Amino acid sequence: MSNKGFSRRDFLKTIGIGSAGLAASNLVNLSRVLAQSGDEIVVRYLTPSWASTTDRRRERQVAFRGVIDSFNSQFAEQGVRVEEIVGDGNPLTATQEIEAGNVDALWFNHGEFQSRYNAGQLVDLSQYGSEIGDFFGFADGVMSNSDGAIAATWHNTDTPLYYYDTTKIETPPTTWSELISICQEIRASEGGNQYGYVTPYVGWFQMNFGMYAALGGTLVDDMGAPIAFTPENLEIWKVVFEHAVSLVQDDLIPASAIGQAQAQMMPDVFAGNVYSFSGNSNFHIRELQPNLPPEEYENWSAVPLPYPDGADGGLYVAGGWGIGAVDTGDEARNAAAAAWAIHATNTNAMATTCLAGGWIPTRPTILSEDPFYADDAFAQTTLQALESGWVVPTADIFTPMWQAFDVAVQRAASGEVAIDEALTEAEAEVTREFEAM
């Protein structure tokens, strides 16, 4: 396929610089260029099944089909359309497909935005009219570079919340000491298998590294090297670990939490044995609503996670997924892929597909103004938390670090080792992993 006559300058003239999405009045006029060869551009879009028209949940099928159909309808006269390629969601698979020249755009995790862009795999979306001014502040440093380049557009996010049964806990805690007091009161008054709280220790890091950062802790330096075990940081980790260990060893949460991820701890909640828990911001629709009678579900509410008493407030970890355009070396194909990435993450598309997926849009105005979110108390709690959103480092060492700290806190909470020894083991593991890199 040859589209050599279409330049980035042509694209910017027709799209209108500065648009956050592609309205009908700002469609990319590719037809005058493509008419020279008569070729059609098919944007090959790689996405996992759960964010596609093939997902088993009908609402996702409809939402993603609507976004694709609206793009194809708008760009039909320009000879551009998007074609969905459903993949396995594995980053290695995505890299292989990019290197093989099989994809033009992809849905991928926010943690890969900068690494893929720096590897030359992605188009700078800022050259095609994309802006980030209406996104959450925490998204800025992940989506964009210091030179203003936009690696990808962050579509959806989430963050853990503190969920509680309002019939059992009248006033939710805001600090760790308040949380401990609630747990102690419930154990003292009820005993047995009744607990005030549970939190997962498999995936514990997600719930707590924002709180570690809120206390002034750091994880990596500017070059991506681990610095989480400096003397200053170790003192902060001891505070965080002491809280996690005391919850188990003082019998304030079920001991089974040590071996449980978020979903695994929920049966105790459903049975009425636990009155509050830490869980992802969509757990009200993923876990509570499907598993509780309507009259019991109505009793549940949520607030941002309690934070350490020594912090001014909490920092709330934001994860999620976005869409980027692959740099194929073909100007017209790059432009068409960029048009798709911008279209698929514009305000309307984001609101619709996030609602269908049970996700949180990365544009706070959607949460505050769209009626589906504005009337949802859980969404408003998430908005409150994400105003202090925090994104984990994208350095390669971060994932091994996460795993090392999860193992360390599990060993310390179970009583296998003391906190100091657990942290020493974690440091040794992270050091080995980093040296191997």
Judgement on whether residues 255 and 341 belong to the same structural domain of the protein: no
Task: For residue 237, tell me if it sits in a domain.
Answer: yes
390 in any annotated domain: no
- In angstroms, rounded to a whole number, what is the distance separating the alpha carbons of residues 85 and 64? 13
Asked, for residue 1, whether it belongs to a domain, the answer is no
Contact 319, 104 (CB under 8 A): no
Q: Do 213 and 307 reside in the same domain of the chain?
A: yes
Q: Are residues 252 and 114 in the same domain?
A: no
- Tell whether 389 is covered by a domain: no
Q: Which residues span the domain enclosing 331? A: 8-158+319-377
- In the prediction, which pLDDT does 13 show? 38
Tell me how far apart the alpha carbons of residues 30 and 81 are, in angstroms, rounded to a whole number: 11
Residue by residue, DSSP assigns 281-297 as TTHIIIIIHHHS-HHHH
Question: Quick one: average pLDDT of 191-204?
Answer: 96
Q: Report if residue 72 sits inside a domain.
A: yes
Indicate if 211 and 264 belong to the same structural domain. yes
Q: Which two tokens stand for residue 289?
A: 């609503």
- Our CA angle for 193, 304, 165, nearest 5°, is 35
Same domain, 132 and 76: yes
**Alpha helices, H only, 292-330:** 294-297
Same domain, 142 and 178: no
Please tell me the pTM assigned to this model: 0.90
CATH assignment of the domain containing 83: 3.40.190.10
Tell whether the model's pLDDT for residue 416 goes beyond 90.
yes
**Number of domains composing the chain:** 2
Residues 33, 37, 42, CA angle at the centre, nearest 5°? 80
Q: What phi, psi does 130 have (nearest 5°)?
A: -75, 140
Are 216 and 350 in a shared domain?
no
Cα separation, 315 vs 308, in Å, equals 10
Looking at the fold, whether 35 and 63 belong to one and the same domain comes out as yes
Which DSSP symbol is given to 25? G
Query: Comparing 6-10, 280-284, 332-336, 357-361, which segment has the lowest mean pLDDT?
Result: 6-10
Summary mean pLDDT of the chain: 90
Higher confidence at residue 21 or residue 233? Answer: 233
Cβ proximity of 311 and 175 under 8 Å: no
Please report whether residue 385 resides in a domain: no
301 and 176 co-located in one domain:
yes
